[in-house]
Amino acid sequence: MINFNARLSAVALACACLPSLSFAADPSLTNPAISAVLDGYYQNAERPMAERVEGFGLGHTELALSANIDDMFYGKLTSVIEVHDGETEVGLEEAFIQTLAMPYGFSMRGGRFLSDVGYLNNQHVHTDAFSDRPAAYRAFLGSHYFDDGVRLDYVAPTDLYWSMGVEAFKGDGMRAEDEHGEREFKNVGVYTAYTKLGGDIGVSSSWQLGLSYLRNENGRLTAHEEHEEQVVAEAGHDHDHSHAARYTGENTYMADFVYKWAPQGNYKYQHLTLSGEYFRVSDYEPLDDHDHDHEAVDDHDTAKPDAHTGWYLSSVYQFSPNWSAGLRYGQVDTHLLHDEHFDAQKLKETEVSLAWHHSHFSTVRLQYTNQQGTNFDGITDDNVITLQYVMTLGAHGAHQF
């Protein structure tokens, strides 16, 4: 964890120094944009694997600084301040540089950044229409997967939007549980590849489709040792609020879509957003050193699970500049390793949210979640009600599609 005072004073120093430098005329591009996000809530219960706790709490309190460094590089720093069990922790969610002037539609990003897999992952959580990410994100990506690494991205020169990219990450947060701390993990643990296609349908509708693959070298569960008596993985048991993925596997496949509609393409008054994603996480069973064990498991156990899966469908309608409502259903089907066998788990979430927006920068949201868990720890109440505010201060950057 980063030293709280040092980080804050560094940001304060940056804030104090930068405006005194003389930049060119356009502040949106050349002066650093400084922004903060305030997020606070009250909820009556918790959602499994989520970061928000029962009662009053603060969500992602962000402080971000971004600017073009010169004509070649753009830089962004996003620090997230979280309070867990009375401890204030400062985390770095983003600290990256990106190239601005590579030819032929290429760009590179390096440092700590949000992976571009899936649809929601590269979006900041404060832009979400629901207080927590879908269960699939919480289970497989630690709510939102950011890490230290590099990305190479390419946008094709076509009228149909077509981009593709590859990323390599350290992958610490995506490591499989290692109870004994004896496992040797690979230093570069995660590789991803993604492609996105998108376009318009007439003037009112726009769409985007994405396919992603995430290779996690450290995603397979650690082999169970015969003489050990404890379970290997106990998801949701230690409520540590880390951003680590709860379920990992060597191969994760993702498919996503988003469709947006506004009357005549005018987003000022009404618009509709439909989105959905599907996850399949496979190859997580521990590799057995002893061949006969493997077969034995096949023989006398019930159907051997081949993948964790998860998906969600979300619909958000903004019916006036001040009000929007959302409906989301999502579920995950996972398998928890107990000794020699896997226990099937299932979590189904049906969520409704109603948000009031006084302006683009202030939102107050009321959300109701009905959660149905099978073999899931951490469900104290099937009905969760969250009242939340999300507000942004300062020069806030443009939003993604």
Partner 1 sequence: MRINSNYLKAGVAALALSFACGAQAKLNIFACEPEYAALAKELAPDAKIYAATTAMQDPHQVQARPSLIAKMRQADLAVCAGADLEVGWLPMLQMKSANAQVRSTDKGLFYAAEHTQTLDKLAQVDRSMGDVHAQGNPHLHFDPERLLEVAKALSAKMVSLDPDNRPAYESALADFSQRWQAATGRWQSQAAPLQGKKVIAYHTSFRYLFNWLGMEQVGDLEPKPGLPPSTGHLASLQGRAGQGDVMAIIVASYQDERGANWLGERTGLPVVNLPMSVGGNDDAQDLFGLYDSVIHLLLGVNR
Does 106 bind partner 1 (CB under 8 A)? Our answer is yes
Question: Among candidates 12, 49, 19, which has minimal Cα distance to 247?
Answer: 49
d(CA 74, CA 100) in angstroms, rounded, equals 7
Does 157 bind partner 1 (CB under 8 A)? Our answer is yes
Of 156, 211, 244, 327, which one interacts with partner 1 (CB under 8 A)?
156
Does 360 bind partner 1 (CB under 8 A)? Our answer is yes
Does 206 bind partner 1 (CB under 8 A)? Our answer is yes
User: Which range binds partner 1 by CB under 8 A, 134-142, 302-310, 317-325, 380-388?
Assistant: 317-325
20: phi then psi, degrees, rounded to nearest 5: -75, -20
Number of residues that bind partner 1 (CB under 8 A): 55
Binding mask 49-78 for partner 1 (x = CB under 8 A): ----------------------x--x----
d(CA 363, CA 297) in angstroms, rounded, equals 52
Does 102 bind partner 1 (CB under 8 A)? Our answer is yes
Nearer to partner 1, 102 or 223 (CB): 102
CB atoms within 10 A of CB 186: 12
Contacting partner 1 within 22-51 (CB under 8 A):
25-26, 28-29
Does 101 bind partner 1 (CB under 8 A)? Our answer is yes
User: Which range binds partner 1 by CB under 8 A, 78-86, 275-283, 320-328, 334-342?
Assistant: 320-328
Does 19 bind partner 1 (CB under 8 A)? Our answer is no
End-to-end CA distance of the chain: 32
CB atoms within 10 A of CB 211: 16
Binding mask 184-203 for partner 1 (x = CB under 8 A): ------------xxxxx--x
- SS3 (DSSP) at 290: coil
CB of 36 to partner 1, least distance (A): 12
User: Which range binds partner 1 by CB under 8 A, 35-43, 89-97, 137-145, 158-166?
Assistant: 158-166
In this structure, the strands spanning 55-58 and 362-374 are unpaired
d(CA 395, CA 372) in angstroms, rounded, equals 41
Does 153 bind partner 1 (CB under 8 A)? Our answer is yes
d(CA 66, CA 70) in angstroms, rounded, equals 12
CB of 138 to partner 1, least distance (A): 27
CB atoms within 10 A of CB 19: 12
In this structure, the strands spanning 323-338 and 73-84 are unpaired
CB atoms within 10 A of CB 6: 10
Does 107 bind partner 1 (CB under 8 A)? Our answer is yes
Does 161 bind partner 1 (CB under 8 A)? Our answer is yes
User: Which range binds partner 1 by CB under 8 A, 4-12, 93-101, 217-225, 365-373?
Assistant: 93-101
Of 322, 372, 374, 380, which one interacts with partner 1 (CB under 8 A)?
322
CB of 272 to partner 1, least distance (A): 12
Of 21, 22, 85, 268, which one interacts with partner 1 (CB under 8 A)?
268
Does 267 bind partner 1 (CB under 8 A)? Our answer is yes
Of 269, 319, 356, 368, which one interacts with partner 1 (CB under 8 A)?
269
Does 111 bind partner 1 (CB under 8 A)? Our answer is no
Residues in CB range of 350: below 8 A, 6 or more apart:
328, 329, 369, 370
269 and 263 in contact (C-beta within 8 Å)? yes
136, exposed or middle or buried, with CB in 10 Å at 0-12, 13-18, 19+? Answer: buried
Does 4 bind partner 1 (CB under 8 A)? Our answer is no
- SS3 (DSSP) at 235: coil
Does 230 bind partner 1 (CB under 8 A)? Our answer is no
Place of tokens 């073999």: 375
d(CA 251, CA 234) in angstroms, rounded, equals 21
CB of 269 to partner 1, least distance (A): 6
How many Cα atoms occupy the beta-carbon half-sphere of 368 within 13 Å?
A: 5
Q: Where do contacts with partner 1 occur on this chain (CB under 8 A)? A: 25-26, 28-29, 71, 74, 98, 100-107, 153-163, 196-200, 203, 206-208, 260, 264-269, 320-322, 358-361, 393, 397-401
